[in-house]
Structure 1
Amino acid sequence: MAASRSWFEESPSPKSLEEVPTFESKPLEDSELSEPNEEQLPSRRVHILGLGSIGTLVAHSLKCLPNPPPITLMIHRAEQYEAFKRGGRAISLITKRHEINDQQTGYDVDLFEGSSEDGTSRWRFIPDRLYNEPQTNPIEPAEETQSGELNIYTLIVAVKGPTTVSALRSVKHRVNAKTTICFMQNGLGQIDEINREVFTDPETRPTYMLGIVSHGAYMSQPCTVIHAGYGTVALGICRDRDRYPLAPKGPVRHLWELSEDERRKHHPTDKELFANISSRYLLRTLTRSPVLACAVFPYLDLLQLQLEKLASNCLLNPLTALLDVPNGAMLNNDELLPVQRLLLAEISLVIRGLPELEGIPNVRHRFSAKRLEQLALAVTERTAQNSSSMREDIRHGKQPEIDYINGYIVKRGEQQGIKCALNFMLMQLIKGKNSLRKGAKLPYGTTRVSSESDPHHPDSVTITDESTPSRGSVG
């Protein structure tokens, strides 16, 4: 039986499969891989920004590939780089099921050195090599710049939502229209902010890819990630609404009734969205990893998968963070069930009215409150022993991603004239709790938040009511 082939794969012209040139076998600038007018891949190097659990998992998984691409870890803090050096410049992955510890080395580093007076950020490239030995990952000509920094052509972003804009501002001068950025983050709405505040010109804007990660992973120490649960990564291109706006309102027209320019503008194919060669290269590189288990989806399918995950996160993340309980506490709780159903009713109403989904069959059923409840229940049961990322962010004093989860529903609801009161309230409660955990100044001396830790519960805080004198005390 002939093997099926995808549109993003090269057409094999040689007679045998062994002779088929690939990105993996050798760099694309070799003469035998090129045709007279064929676009050249500038570099095989993959940059990774954000070394939390997902960024570290991806960095380790790509290094395990046969003939892996050069990988540069982008590190913002000097102390994090020192920890990386103390660990032998290695990234460790521990499989929780079998307690197997695998180390990978050979990573280059970009170390952030601050910003100049004109706001331009400065990165120092630190190659992987021992003493006077040659670099592990030689620099290709297209990567070099006069400043000594390297151009970025493929970038995986795995930072938290609230830090995405500032993180990408720091690399803006190293990114251009040939670049592809793959976002592996929770929530939605970050790309709208990036287009508004960082890459404002659609003509020079990089191509965006999205990765929806369902792996269970957490950091046990710097540069060591625990792979607690196997999952998948759903990958796809992100449609740039400035370049490819939605079709204007009006009578429905068949594609064959449109001019080619109209069709390309309002109804681009996924092959056209993947026109950037760095996008195809990054896609092929990620899908090579058996650990990541990546699958490629058309843009609209990927968007619907994102929205399904978002709906579940809108319940699990804020409720477990407010109550400070693991995910499984949401199961079989008759008091919380009405709250979850009311939230899902709001979420369902907003999602079903999104203009991006207009004309897609079965949207009303797929995003009905009843089906979203079934999906959320399945996620809760599967992750019952886990602690949600928002709960962990608040417990460790990090800014929660609530603006990109429930906040996204609130914003998209307002665009449709829907007031999402429950999601807004939940968003403000999370922000309020985060302020309390950080010791925010409270009026009238009614409460005091103490950061003194209980030796038996190191993540706890003490809240004391000082508004009423204790019995026997003076006024």
Structure 2
Amino acid sequence: MNIVVLGPGAIGSLWALSLHNAGHSLSLWSRNGHHQSTLCLDTLSPVTLVNNDAEKLKDADLLLVTLKAPQVETAMQPLLEQIDPDCIVVLMHNGMGTADIVAELLPNNPLVLATTTHGAYRPEPNKVQHTGVGITQLGGHNEKGKQCQFLAEVFDHALSTAQWHNHIEQALWSKLAINCAINPLTAINQITNGELAADSYRSTLVSVVEEVAQVMNAEGIVTDAAKLEETVFNVIQATAKNHSSMQQDIVHKRPSEIDFITGYLLQRAQTHNIAVPHNTALFEQIKLIEQSWKSS
């Protein structure tokens, strides 16, 4: 396939190199103005990929969007006229809320949503490390997207394990619950994921997850709060040494994804008239931190 990766950060670079190594024609689209980018995955030989090539974008069979959620709309707006109506658009990022925006921008394109638990870290701009083996789930957002089940095989061949999920919203909401619990707390307290296992955080984590479970059930995503809590604590243990993306954003004074994680939850809770005070408190704390940078 002809594939363009929009937003080659850590995860985007991991997938770009994995898909390239699987035999696909890969190019990148990024903020840097260079026509080529050289990337190195772990100890493998460096790979040079074309960057910001309009012809490659026009010929793309697949556009893999690995930007952070707040960047998606702004980055895609200038590219709309160059994206073929048959090009499959795959959104892969933390948080929810961008799918409807992209569906409106590209109403004729197959739209697929993806979530992954693979870990990636970029110690240098041109180097990426695969820090954790995980599972990638994909599923269609619109009717055309639902016809793209073959993508599971494409992604699995490049970086296993990848699976097609007929109800991708279930997987996305489960990931959202994990992010609502882990990301704000690690960012506010400037700690690793594993430090959330301390007893002092347990009550807050349980309350946050119980609120998410209420909203999920109201959305028709049937879940059990106790099982969701178990999942969150398992992730905390499995990723104990990791710094969450929000923790890294806050420490580097970058805008976080809070609007598309906890913010999305608050929007849906309001629709169902569900009180979510613990999530609201974390949302407001992150917003206060971000606001303090502007005022200073």
Q: With the length of structure 1 as denominator, give the TM-score of the two structures.
A: 0.59
Equivalent position of 1:345 in the other structure: 210
Inter-partner Cα distance in structure 1 for 2:19 and 2:102? 26
Which one has more relative contact order, counting CA pairs under 8 Å at least 6 apart? 2
8 A contact 1:346–1:420 mirrored in 2: yes
Structure 1 92/413 Cα, relative in aligned 2: closer, same or farther at 3 Å?
same
Equivalent position of 1:377 in the other structure: 233
- Flag structure 2 segments of 5+ consecutive residues without an equivalent: none
8 A contact 1:45–1:154 mirrored in 2: yes
The one of 175, 184, 188 aligned to 2:83: 175
Inter-partner Cα distance in structure 2 for 1:280 and 1:175? 21
Equivalent position of 1:429 in the other structure: 285
Inter-partner Cα distance in structure 2 for 1:336 and 1:163? 31
Runs of 4+ in 1 over 4 A off after TM superposition: 280-283
Cα deviation, residue 63, structure 1: 1.5
Residue deviations 1:14-47 (CA, integer Å, cap 9, x gap): xxxxxxxxxxxxxxxxxxxxxxxxxxxxxx3101
Residue deviations 1:353-410 (CA, integer Å, cap 9, x gap): 104x4xxxxx2xxx22222111110000001111111000111222100111111111
Equivalent position of 1:336 in the other structure: 201
Inter-partner Cα distance in structure 2 for 1:64 and 1:176? 25
8 A contact 2:113–2:139 mirrored in 1: yes
Look at both structures and tell me which one has the larger radius of gyration over its CA atoms.
1
Equivalent position of 1:253 in the other structure: none
Equivalent position of 1:317 in the other structure: 183
Query: Counterpart amino acid of 2:47?
Result: T
Cα deviation, residue 435, structure 1: 2.5
The one of 140, 155, 162 aligned to 1:286: 155
8 A contact 1:154–1:282 mirrored in 2: no
The one of 49, 56, 76 aligned to 1:107: 49
Q: Percent identity?
A: 26
Inter-partner Cα distance in structure 2 for 1:110 and 1:281? 27
Give the structure with the larger helix fraction. 2
Q: Any idea what SS the aligned residue of 1:170 has?
A: helix
The one of 80, 91, 94 aligned to 2:39: 91
Residue deviations 1:205-232 (CA, integer Å, cap 9, x gap): x111122111111101112111111112
Equivalent position of 2:18 in the other structure: 61
Cα deviation, residue 54, structure 1: 0.6
8 A contact 2:139–2:149 mirrored in 1: no
The one of 161, 164, 169 aligned to 2:72: 164
Q: Any idea what SS the aligned residue of 2:89 has?
A: strand
Q: Alignment length, in residue pairs?
A: 296
Query: Counterpart amino acid of 1:108?
Result: V
Equivalent position of 2:269 in the other structure: 413
- Flag structure 1 segments of 5+ consecutive residues without an equivalent: 1-43, 95-100, 112-122, 126-142, 144-148, 244-271, 358-362, 442-448, 450-475
Query: Counterpart amino acid of 2:32?
Result: R
Cα deviation, residue 106, structure 1: 5.0
8 A contact 1:58–1:292 mirrored in 2: no
Inter-partner Cα distance in structure 1 for 2:150 and 2:218? 35
Query: Counterpart amino acid of 2:122?
Result: M
Inter-partner Cα distance in structure 2 for 1:421 and 1:207? 37
Q: Any idea what SS the aligned residue of 1:234 has?
A: strand
The one of 230, 238, 241 aligned to 2:133: 230
Cα deviation, residue 104, structure 1: 4.3
Q: With the length of structure 2 as denominator, give the TM-score of the two structures.
A: 0.92
Q: Any idea what SS the aligned residue of 1:397 has?
A: coil
Query: Counterpart amino acid of 2:119?
Result: G
8 A contact 1:311–1:344 mirrored in 2: yes
Inter-partner Cα distance in structure 2 for 1:108 and 1:281? 26
Say which is worse superposed, 302-311 or 156-165, in terms of deviation.
302-311
Inter-partner Cα distance in structure 2 for 1:280 and 1:314? 29
